[in-house]
């Protein structure tokens, strides 16, 4: 969540119901985006929470005590749920190249917008121009080469994903906050006529009454590899081992956390996916990491590979994040963003144990559930981090990239 308050916002400050461990303050802060529509920004410290509320939270010019209490109570619930009994994650750094020299220190987003290379269509929705598109194509070729080095079979997956299948892998309880639902007008002449005649859109969205829309059967896909697991469900794994690759649009709603190309509602992910016995998956995940390290060295990218956890929602965060950390299931490739002295996850190396094999009944020849893992790259983030380190002028780019782009 953005820490930068706008002047017209209403700040409120209070003490968390229990102290928030330092390793959790960022996670708690990011979750506050989903707590109340009035929250426009937040700053979370161990012993102090500052919220910035929308002016609309105080329609009469002053924030009502009951409204303040309501927001504060919800925030305290988040604090309790995430911080009580929290287990410090095991920090493991597999590669550290963050101090590689970089030539650029400005925020590329400003220049990209000025040049028309990026155009904003809505919150978290951007169109990309030729410079970014060519750069993304270059990275795609590298990721495809990685996939080919494994002999990965190419797949194409839909943008929509079945609600029923997401339920089977318990996505709704783990990541409810980031789901994007798909609906259509009900098969009802009156509802369709009514929509055709009176549909209008204001700053809050369409004015169509909710009862005109169908029940939810599909969502916008939050990840690529799920589709492969669904296609393998309820049968023995062919040959006992599968390596596949696919690229696809992914959707994760992140409320006011949606900022620039760093955090998009609609982004593109390339994955190389491994399904089979445990050692097969872990060995390939590690091989993938080593091969990518060679590429990142060639282009001089400043980055680090470190243990991480998925952004589980509040109810499951404490347990799931601790479990992922303890078993070292996820490592992120975090590229340097010199303009803000920070890093951005541009990819990850993941191992799911037999979670998908068990829940989707994907079996190995001995009847045991298959293990799964993947290496995944966010294409827009990869290109954005590259521009943040090397600038928009191709003359300043690494030789390898310049030559490939010609």
Partner 1 sequence: MDVEQKELSERVQALLVEALQVPLEVVTPDLSFGDLPQWDSMGHMEVMMRLEERFGVEINADTIATLTSVPQICAYLKENNRV
| From candidates 322, 338, 361, 394, binder to partner 1 by CB under 8 A | 322
Write out the two tokens for 52. 């910035």
Pairing between β-strand 371-378 and β-strand 342-351 as defined by DSSP bridges? antiparallel
Nearest residue (CB) to partner 1, 23 versus 181? 23
CA distance 296 to 302: 8
Contact status: 93 vs partner 1 (CB under 8 A): no
Residue from the set 45, 323, 361, 398 that interacts with partner 1 by CB under 8 A? 323
Q: Smaller CB distance to partner 1: residue 80 or 113?
A: 80
Residue span binding partner 1 (CB under 8 A) among the ranges 31-39, 147-155, 227-235, 323-331: 323-331
Between 106 and 170, whose beta carbon lies closer to partner 1?
A: 170
Binding mask 36-75 for partner 1 (x = CB under 8 A): ----------------------------------------
- Can you tell me which of 6, 48, 90, 106 binds partner 1, judged by CB under 8 A? 90
Least distance to partner 1, CB of residue 319, Å: 4
Which one of the spans 68-76, 138-146, 316-324, 343-351 is the region binding partner 1 (CB under 8 A)? 316-324
Binding region for partner 1 (CB under 8 A) out of 83-91, 123-131, 250-258, 285-293: 83-91
Tokens of 171: 């996505």
Annotate each residue in 265-294 with x if it binds partner 1 (CB under 8 A) or - if it does not, as one string: ------------------------------
Structure tokens at 391: 């600038």
Q: Which is nearer to partner 1, 270 or 318 (CB)?
A: 318
- Rounded Cα distance between 87 and 325, Å, is 10
Contact by Cβ (8 Å): 241, 280 = yes
- Tell me how crowded residue 400 is: count the other CB atoms within 10 A of its CB: 14
Q: Which of residues 342-371 bind partner 1 (CB under 8 A)?
A: 353-355, 358
Cα(10)–Cα(48) distance, integer angstroms: 16
Binds partner 1 (CB under 8 A): choice among 21, 89, 176, 236:
89
The yes or no reply on residue 153 touching partner 1 (CB under 8 A) is no
Strand partners, 249: 268
- Burial zone of 287 (CB within 10 Å; 0-12 exposed, 13-18 middle, 19+ buried): middle
Find where tokens 């983030």 sit. Answer: 381
Query: Is residue 328 within 8 Å of 108, Cβ to Cβ?
Result: no
Closer to partner 1 at the Cβ: 181 or 327? 327
The contact pattern for partner 1, residues 163-192, with x = CB under 8 A and - = no contact, is: ------------------------------
* Distance in angstroms (rounded) separating the CA atoms of residues 54 and 211: 29
Closest distance between partner 1 and the C-beta of residue 21, in Å?
Answer: 13
Question: Does 88 sit near partner 1 (CB under 8 A)?
Answer: yes
Residues in the chain: 406
By beta-carbon proximity to partner 1, the closer residue of 58 and 80 is 80
Task: Copy the structure tokens of residue 298.
Answer: 């060639």
Produce one character per residue of 30-65: b if its CB has 16 or more CB atoms within 10 Å, e if not: bbbbbbbebbbbbbbeeeebebbbbeebeeeeebee
- Among the listed residues 225, 167, 169, 228, the one whose alpha carbon sits nearest the alpha carbon of residue 355: 169
Region near partner 1 per CB under 8 A, out of 84-92, 129-137, 282-290, 374-382: 84-92
* Residue selected from 36, 45, 283, 316 as contacting partner 1 according to rule CB under 8 A: 316
Output the DSSP codes for 252-283: ---GGG--GGGS-SEEEEEEEEEEESHHHHHH
* Rounded least distance, CB 329 to partner 1, Å: 9
Query: Token digits for 404?
Result: 């490939």
Give the binding site for partner 1 (CB under 8 A): 85, 87-90, 316, 318-320, 322-328, 353-355, 358
């Amino acid at each position: 969540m953005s820490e930068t308050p706008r002047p017209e916002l209403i700040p409120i400050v209070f003490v968390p119901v229990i102290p928030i461990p330092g390793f959790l303050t960022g996670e708690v802060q990011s979750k506050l985006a989903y707590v109340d529509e009035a929250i426009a920004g937040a700053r979370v410290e161990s012993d102090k929470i500052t919220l910035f509320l929308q002016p609309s939270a105080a329609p009469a010019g002053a924030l009502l005590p009951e409204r303040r209490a309501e927001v504060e109570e919800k925030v305290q619930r988040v604090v309790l749920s995430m911080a009580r009994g929290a287990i410090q994650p095991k920090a493991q750094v597999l590669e550290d190249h963050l101090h590689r020299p970089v030539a650029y220190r400005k925020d590329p987003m400003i220049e990209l917008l000025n040049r028309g290379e990026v155009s904003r269509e809505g919150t978290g929705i951007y169109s990309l121009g030729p410079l970014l598109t060519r750069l993304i194509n270059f990275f795609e070729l590298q990721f495809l080469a990685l996939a080919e080095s494994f002999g990965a079979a190419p797949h194409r997956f839909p943008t929509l994903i079945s609600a029923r299948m997401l339920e089977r892998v318990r996505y709704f309880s783990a990541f409810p906050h980031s789901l994007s639902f798909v609906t259509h007008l009900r098969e009802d002449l009156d509802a369709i006529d009514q929509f055709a005649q009176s549909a209008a859109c204001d700053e809050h969205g369409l004015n169509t009454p909710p009862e005109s829309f169908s029940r939810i059967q599909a969502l916008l896909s939050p990840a690529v590899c799920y589709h492969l697991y669904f296609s393998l469900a309820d049968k023995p794994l062919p040959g006992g081992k599968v390596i596949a690759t696919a690229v696809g649009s992914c959707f994760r709603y992140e409320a006011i956390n949606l900022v620039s190309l760093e955090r998009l509602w609609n982004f593109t992910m390339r994955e190389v996916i491994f399904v089979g016995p445990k050692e097969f998956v872990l060995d390939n995940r590690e091989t993938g990491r080593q091969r990518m390290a060679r590429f990142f060295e060639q282009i001089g990218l400043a980055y680090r590979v470190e243990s991480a956890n998925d952004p589980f929602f509040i109810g499951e965060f404490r347990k799931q994040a601790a479990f992922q950390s303890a078993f070292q299931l996820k490592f992120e490739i975090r590229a340097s963003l010199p303009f803000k002295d920070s890093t951005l996850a541009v990819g990850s190396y993941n191992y799911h144990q037999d979670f998908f094999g068990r829940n989707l009944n994907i079996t190995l020849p001995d009847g045991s559930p298959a293990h799964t893992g993947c290496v995944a790259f966010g294409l827009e983030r990869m290109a954005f981090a590259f521009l943040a380190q090397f600038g928009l002028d191709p003359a300043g780019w690494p030789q390898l990239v310049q030559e490939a782009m010609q």
